[in-house]
């Protein structure tokens, strides 16, 4: 009787420790693990740490990248032997020692375990369920997931290798995903993968994952990409729980682990400056950010100790558009290509020679990591040692104190597009910060708002030349038009945002386009004019404006010059285009006109010709225009019909025939 009661209590004890699907939280553990070469020792340490985590009621534990061994390989036959015998602990003779040991520990402690190993596939022999493009030995960088019974339930191969020349990236971009008995589905990937749309953005957005697992051996880089900084920023921006386990090798700048919960920041994190192995455990709310009760938060190392953590620097900073920040209150803007940064900063006086200089930075470009070009955009304030940009980024000693009392960065940049193939967005924006102690600011200390100000911009265009029709034919056109673009560059024009939303297009209260063009000539053989002009428009319904919205008229002079006018007669919302669009059939089949340079500012008056003083809009206007034209240019020239430039000013058009 007594015996039974004890057993009952034991079982009850176990079931109390585990989180269930009904619980609104679970317990996660991550391991910061000091890199050492003896894999037998490492495996022993792993077993012990798994036990420690289980003692603290962890439901799941995550180990870093390649910290059992970076050289020895493990066969993970998830489509072969493991199908029949999913628990290596029960068939030790069939499997690698690593799988057997971790399986036993997971099973013994009833805990989910995620490890990362170098995986070997021997494609010189038939490897069941493996794809073998070549007959050779394949090495992958692989996460292996064990459930509480010790069964291998998932395998993920790193897609974005960081150098790692002996290894092969995943042969297909398969995502790592598994579901647990406590009702949480995890996505998982490895280290450098974090920088890429596939898998880092896709795994979250395609499957609505709220919890991400991240074994890593991260080489921290100032000012954006130190380990805890980017882990926390990712969790924040993607609004996920994030379990990051980092390999610790401070000599090469590898360190940093943490458990983060969406916009609540770090539940626990470390960024050690000394060789460290440490188990971090925290209760994690199933809804990211909805934390309750106490949690450890960032565990800070003395900044002096952190000096021994080697940090690399972002090599692209010198290509940025930057400005040195002066003490006091400043507001200004910096622009690089498609990125517009507005800064508002209030910084106090320098009060010591060792205080940092701060520089504001705008950047739109490409960084290269491990030979992979990675597109990055940013608006940043960085600390520097001197006024020289080459002295950025500088980690200043604590005594060089300089207060920043207000800091606000506003960034206008590329809008995110949804990639329907990948089922995720193609850009991620992170709020990043890095303090003297190599931790980011707590989310409590800043606000970060993203607004999709999806607004069409508009360009005025003039064209006389030959265009292609989908590469199958060419045709002459003469056009004066106003058209919508999704961005500031010409290649964003003539398209809609990938997802419609209202109030993204401008309201034109007034819009008048006047086109002076050669008068259409008849082709008597064909009984048809050699050119035709159309009034064209398009609104959000992908239909033209109803005729009651516009007036289209023309006059011609001496059978030589025709003036077409297209005018809105009432205010039109949601316009995508408004154009006098002419076909010139005589130049059909000629070569396509080449592209040209475009100004990228909204109204760059240096590259557009200012309009002359305009007359009152009366009926004598055409005559004034004609007078203007004939005074400066020969009608012969007009007959040749080279219309060079249309100038858009406010809501009307001015046309100029260029001089020879």
Give the interface with ligand NAG as residue ranges (CB under 6 A): 122, 124-125, 137, 207-208, 419, 421-422, 426, 441-442, 444-445, 519-523, 529-530, 551, 553, 569, 586
Count CB neighbours of 417 within 10 A: 13
Q: Tokens 């001015």 belong to which residue?
A: 654
Spatial CA neighbour of 168 closest among 73, 252, 272, 103: 73
Task: Report whether 520 contacts 531 (CB < 8 A).
Answer: yes
Q: Tokens 């809609």 belong to which residue?
A: 496
Instruction: Burial-class residue 338 by CB neighbours within 10 Å (0-12, 13-18, 19+).
Output: middle
CB of 120 to ligand NAG, least distance (A): 6
CB of 444 to ligand NAG, least distance (A): 4
Cβ-based nearer residue to ligand NAG, 252 or 635: 635
Can you point out the beta strands (E) in 123-173? 137-146, 152-157
Cβ-based nearer residue to ligand NAG, 532 or 634: 532
Q: How far is CA 311 from the centre of its chain?
A: 24
3-state secondary structure of 203: helix
CB of 602 to ligand NAG, least distance (A): 25
Cβ-based nearer residue to ligand NAG, 357 or 564: 564
Cβ-based nearer residue to ligand NAG, 333 or 422: 422
Structure tokens at 9: 């209590």
Cβ-based nearer residue to ligand NAG, 421 or 501: 421
Task: Report whether 48 contacts 102 (CB < 8 A).
Answer: no
Kindly report the backbone phi and psi dihedral angles of residue 264, in degrees, each rounded to the nearest multiple of 5, phi listed first.
-85, -10
Cβ-based nearer residue to ligand NAG, 56 or 586: 586
Cβ-based nearer residue to ligand NAG, 46 or 140: 140
CA distance 38 to 35: 9
CB of 534 to ligand NAG, least distance (A): 11
Q: Tokens 């003297």 belong to which residue?
A: 436
CB of 604 to ligand NAG, least distance (A): 29
Count CB neighbours of 183 within 10 A: 14
Structure tokens at 180: 């647990």
CB of 649 to ligand NAG, least distance (A): 21
CB of 185 to ligand NAG, least distance (A): 10
Output the DSSP codes for 468-512. Answer: EETTTEEEEEEEEEEEEESSSSGGGBS---SS--TT-SPEES--E
CB of 130 to ligand NAG, least distance (A): 12
């Amino acid at each position: 009787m007594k015996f039974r009661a004890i057993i009952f209590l034991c079982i009850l004890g176990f079931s109390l420790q585990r989180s269930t699907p009904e619980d609104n939280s679970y317990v996660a553990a991550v391991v910061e693990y000091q890199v050492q070469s003896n894999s037998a020792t490492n495996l022993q340490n792993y077993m012990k740490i798994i036990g420690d985590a289980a003692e603290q009621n962890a439901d799941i534990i995550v180990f870093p990248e390649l910290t059992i061994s970076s050289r020895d390989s493990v066969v993970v036959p998830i489509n072969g032997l493991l199908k029949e015998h999913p628990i290596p602990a029960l068939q030790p003779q069939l499997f690698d020692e690593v799988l057997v040991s971790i399986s036993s520990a997971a099973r013994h402690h009833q805990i989910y375990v995620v490890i990362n190993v170098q995986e070997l596939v021997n494609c010189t022999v038939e490897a069941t369920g493996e794809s073998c493009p070549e007959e050779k030995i394949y090495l992958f960088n692989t996460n292996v997931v064990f459930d509480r019974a010790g069964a291998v339930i998932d395998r993920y191969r790193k897609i974005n290798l960081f150098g790692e020349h002996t290894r092969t990236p995943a042969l297909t971009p398969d995502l790592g995903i598994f579901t647990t008995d406590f009702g949480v589905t995890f996505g998982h990937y490895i280290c450098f993968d974090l920088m890429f749309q596939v898998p880092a953005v896709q795994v979250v957005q395609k499957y609505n994952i709220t919890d991400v697992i991240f074994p890593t051996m991260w080489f921290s880089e100032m000012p954006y990409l130190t380990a805890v900084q980017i882990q926390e920023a990712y969790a924040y921006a993607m609004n996920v729980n994030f379990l990051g386990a980092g390999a610790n090798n401070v000599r090469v700048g590898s360190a940093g682990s943490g458990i983060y919960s969406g916009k609540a920041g770090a539940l626990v994190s470390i960024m050690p400056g000394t060789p460290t192995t440490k188990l971090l455990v925290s209760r994690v709310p199933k809804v990211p950010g909805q934390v309750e009760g106490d949690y450890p938060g960032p565990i800070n190392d003395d900044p002096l100790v952190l000096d021994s953590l080697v940090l690399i620097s972002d090599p692209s900073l010198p290509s940025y558009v930057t400005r040195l920040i002066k003490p006091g209150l400043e507001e200004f803007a910096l622009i690089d290509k498609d990125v517009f940064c507005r800064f508002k900063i209030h910084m106090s006086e320098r009060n010591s020679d060792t205080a940092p200089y701060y520089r504001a930075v705008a950047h739109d470009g490409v960084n290269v990591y491990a030979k992979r070009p990675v597109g990055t955009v940013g608006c940043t304030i960085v600390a520097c040692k001197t006024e020289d940009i080459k002295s950025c980024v500088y980690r200043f000693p604590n005594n060089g104190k300089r207060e920043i009392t207000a800091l606000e960065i506003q960034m206008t940049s590329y809008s995110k597009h949804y990639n329907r193939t990948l089922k995720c967005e193609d850009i991620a924006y992170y709020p990043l910060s890095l303090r003297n102690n190599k931790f980011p600011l707590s989310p409590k200390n800043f606000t970060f708002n993203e607004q999709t100000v999806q607004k069409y911009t508009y360009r005025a265009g003039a064209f006389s030349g030959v265009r292609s029709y989908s590469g199958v034919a060419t045709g002459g056109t003469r056009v004066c038009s106003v058209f919508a673009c999704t961005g500031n560059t010409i290649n964003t024009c003539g398209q809609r945002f990938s997802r419609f939303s209202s109030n993204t297009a401008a309201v034109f209260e007034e819009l008048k386009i006047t086109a002076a063009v050669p008068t259409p000539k008849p082709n008597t053989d064909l009984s048809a004019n050699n050119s035709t002009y159309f009034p064209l428009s398009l609104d959000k319904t992908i239909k033209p404006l109803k005729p009651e919205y516009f007036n289209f008229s023309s006059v011609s002079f001496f059978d030589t010059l025709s003036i077409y006018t297209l005018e809105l007669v009432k205010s039109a919302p949601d316009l995508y285009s408004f154009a006098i669009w002419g076909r010139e059939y005589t130049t059909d089949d000629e070569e396509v006109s080449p592209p040209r340079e475009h100004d990228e500012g909204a109204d760059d008056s240096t590259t557009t010709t200012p309009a002359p003083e305009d007359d009152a809009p009366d009926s004598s206007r055409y005559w004034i225009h004609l007078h203007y034209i004939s005074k400066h240019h020969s009608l012969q020239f007009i007959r040749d019909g080279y219309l060079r430039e249309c100038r858009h000013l406010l809501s009307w058009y001015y046309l100029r025939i260029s001089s020879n």
